Structure 1
Amino acid sequence: MVFALNGAALGSWAPRVPALSGQMHAEPGPLGLALLGASVGMLLAAVVSGRLVERTGTRLMIAVSVVIAGLLLPAIGATTSVPLFGVELLVLGASVGVLDVAMNIAAVQVERDEGKPIMPLFHAGFSVGALIGSAAAGLAASHDWTPDRHLAVAGAFAIVVLLVVLRDVPGTRPPHHEKATAPRVAPARRPVLWLLAAVALASAIAEGASSDWSAMLMVNVHGVGQGAGALAFSVFSLAMAFARLGGSWLQQKIGPTRTLAFGALLAGVGLVSAALVPVPAVGFAGFALAGAGLAASFPVALGLAGEAGKREDGSGGEREIAFVTAIAYTGFLAGPPMIGGIAQVTSYAGSFVVVAVIAVLIAPAAIGAGRAKAAEGRRKESALPGAVR
């Protein structure tokens, strides 16, 4: 439910941007800069949220971030100023960024307690929440609800759901005796975390490109109408949601590294097909394959990052998850403009071929992360007292 609330937050306000633009009388340029506020806020929050969650616990940070987001949504719906809109999105992005890190840390703790890989299932909740939020936004718009009315209801609903589920959210902090143990290695000094961050970054770039540019590819390369073109990302999102529901089963069967590598190749094939085969049905099928292939990348990378930060008492992983998340957010921030620039120089088809190559790079990064983790394990074993050197 917490993951679904996070997805619903994005799904609620983003579809109302046309109505918000109208009530602000915003030009495209200033509006685009204001919309960057959400991504910047998420990135800044992710940088500091690991230490914050480590000190206060996941439950408190989840509660605070959801309440802030719930109170901000109606304010966003009522805004009539583009600069104020940008500031509100900056704060909303920061609260969602803290929520993103905190809920993933809590999910890693549940995964440890269950003893099996279930991170893709949690991220399926995010995808479903985003779909429900966007569907509710469309319903509200079709019934002529103003953005302030719609987003006030959405914000209140989020806070009520939070109050219902919060008691069962893991929220314990690390034991105090952990502070007296040997210093932990900083995430930036661990190759395994850089490689996992590369997995998440490539996934974020491919997902952001599909979100922002799939409709343009379908309209300009495949020749479909704008309404049909908009369905490309819907197909991508639905395929991702369904694939995440089965991602835990696949990870248990073939392991995380093979799951990531297989998904990367599937996404690459789908994106290349959508880019180079000028048949609408192939384009939609390609985006479905891309959504399914990328489904496991982000949740599995975060799950492995949390495992890399696990302490002897079973806690830990806060800073490691925050490190990987912060780098991944740069992909959501910089990816779509980068793809737009490539399309300007080459073509929409050429830009998606580049996206396909980036998606395929998830495979070697995942293999490298597995080897780096194994190397860390060997070094720890050799450092134990009495170890054979």
Structure 2
Amino acid sequence: MQRDRLAVFTVFALNGLALGSWASRTPALAAQVHAAPGVFGLALLGASVGMLAAASVSGRIIERLGARAVVAGSTALAAASLVLVGFAPDVPLLAGALLVIGASVGLLDVAMNVAAVAVERRAGKPLMPVFHAGFSFGALAGSLAAGLAAAHGWSPGRHLTVAAVVAVAVLLLVIRAVPGSRPEHSEEGTPSRAPIRRPVLWLLAAVALCSAIAEGASSDWSALLMSVERGVGQGAAALAFAGFQLVMALTRLAGTYAQRRFGPARCLAAGSVLAAVGLLAAATIPVAAVGYAGFALAGAGLAASFPMALSLAGDAGKRGDGTGGEREIGFVTAIAYTGFLAGPPIVGGIAQVTDYGMAFGFVAVVAALILPAALGARRARDREEAALTVES
């Protein structure tokens, strides 16, 4: 693996490591700040709000400063905020720390995807799913480390401080190889319209949004479906989430071959069908083994949706000088984050008035919508290219 690919893969893994580290310590954090579940849930909302706010302005910041500088700054800020989260003594300070970590991760998400697109362009082949596999493996590693820390009686402050130091040390080793120093753009080939006025970007955002809703619901509610509706124990129920994440990570490793062999539109369409079938099976067939298999199938189907949508968004913003795509990736990411923000509460509301089976039936429909959005995005891109050809 070349230095720039390894560096970007490592940055994705660091992002996942940060998420897995603090998200897995939420029981200890809730006890530390003496928060009831409802109040603690409001504090957690700070992270989502920070991510959405930062992602909405990240494209222009990266255009001005370059992806490498934003990766370095946002990772350092995320590490510092990890420490603040770990030592937060009360709910307001915890919410503030989570707001900061959400904003830093929002900037990092867009910057690392812009850097990933730059590596794809240099390599001349699709690599985005592999980089997102790095995030998945990083999140798994963070979760395992958090479990070990908790088992050995480490406080959140001690654990997250160690995680922050490790993240900064690794960042210093790889940051010089991350592409995206301050860009010097030419006007050749610059897209004539803002992202908000381009149908192809709205359709790619729809792909990412539906993927985010389905992924967030599977992460947050799969264990509850297995426990409440299928009657398995809490420990066994957690395996549904673990299986979902592991299969997603492994499938992403094969994403480069699949995208080159079949093309992104076919991969997105096939993934949509797999995810919808898996989620529908988990929702409707009252057999625990089918539930586990369904969530694993959903992980495989959703694996490529988010990374391919961002890769295609970057391609839609490519300039004639080989740069560009920052605003387009930021636009798609910001809309996708609304899915991570609103999806789990919507699913929870449906489950409240019906049951978890009906809620995941809704999620299956959302996953199925990736298919028409992906095909529509391909047609919209073809129309744009045809119009540019006529103008030239």
Give TM class, smaller chain. over 0.9
Task: Give, in whole Å, the separation in 2 of the partners of 1:345 and 1:368.
Answer: 34
CA distance in 1, matches of 2:108, 2:178: 13
Moved more, 131-140 or 68-77: 68-77
Q: Which residue of 1 aligns with 2:7?
A: none
Match of 1:157 among 154, 161, 166: 166
1:275 corresponds to which of 257, 274, 283: 283
Equivalent residue for 1:10, pick from 6, 16, 19: 19
Kindly indicate whether residue 103 of structure 2 is the aligned counterpart of residue 103 of structure 1. Answer: no
Which residue of 2 is the match for residue 254 of structure 1?
A: 262
Number of the residue aligned with 2:42? 33
Amino acid at match of 2:161: A
1:39-91, CA deviations, whole angstroms, 9 ceiling, x for partnerless residues?
11000000000000000001100000011111111221111110110011001
1:22-55 deviation line (CA, Å, top 9, x unaligned): 1111111110000000011000000000000000
Q: Which residue of 2 aligns with 1:327?
A: 335
Are 1:57 and 2:87 matched, yes or no? no
Q: In structure 2, list runs of 5 or more residues that go unmatched.
A: 1-9
Q: Distance in 2 between matches of 1:310 and 1:239?
A: 32
Deviations 1:171-196 (A, max 9, x none): 23332543x98773100100000000
Q: Measure, in 2, the Cα distance between the counterparts of 1:195 and 1:283.
A: 30
Tell me the equivalent position of 1:265: 273
Counterpart AA for 2:326: E
Aligned partner of 2:156 in structure 1 is: 147
Choose the corresponding residue for 1:209, options 195, 217, 224: 217
Match of 2:368 in 1: 360
Structure 1 26/263 Cα, relative in aligned 2: closer, same or farther at 3 Å? same
2-structure distance, mates of 1:25, 1:304: 45
What is the CA-CA distance between 1:115 and the residue it aligns to? 0.4
> What is residue 31 of structure 2 aligned with on the other side?
22
**2:83 counterpart letter in structure 1:** P
2:272 is the counterpart of 1:231 = no
| Superposition pairs of residues 114-153 of structure 1, within 5 angstroms | 114-153=123-162
**Structure-1 separation of matches of 2:49 and 2:180:** 27
Matched ranges for 1:87-102 at <5 A: 87-102=96-111
> In the alignment, is the contact (CA less than 8 A) between 2:47 and 2:102 conserved in 1?
yes
CA distance in 1, matches of 2:307, 2:186: 30
Would you say 1:68 and 2:77 are equivalent positions? Answer: yes
Q: Which residue of 2 aligns with 1:170?
A: 179
Instruction: Give the root-mean-square deviation of aligned CA atoms.
Output: 1.1
Match of 1:387 in 2: none
Partner in structure 2 of residue 303 of structure 1? 311
1:134 is matched by which residue type in structure 2?
S
Match of 1:286 among 294, 318, 339: 294
Q: State how many pairs are aligned.
A: 383
Q: Are 2:92 and 1:83 equivalent residues in the alignment?
A: yes
Task: Indicate conservation of the 8 Å contact 2:189/2:321, yes or no.
Answer: no
Larger deviation, residues 315-324 vs 73-82:
73-82
Residues 1:192 and 2:200 are matched in the alignment: yes
Partner Cα distance (1:184, 1:2) in 2: 32
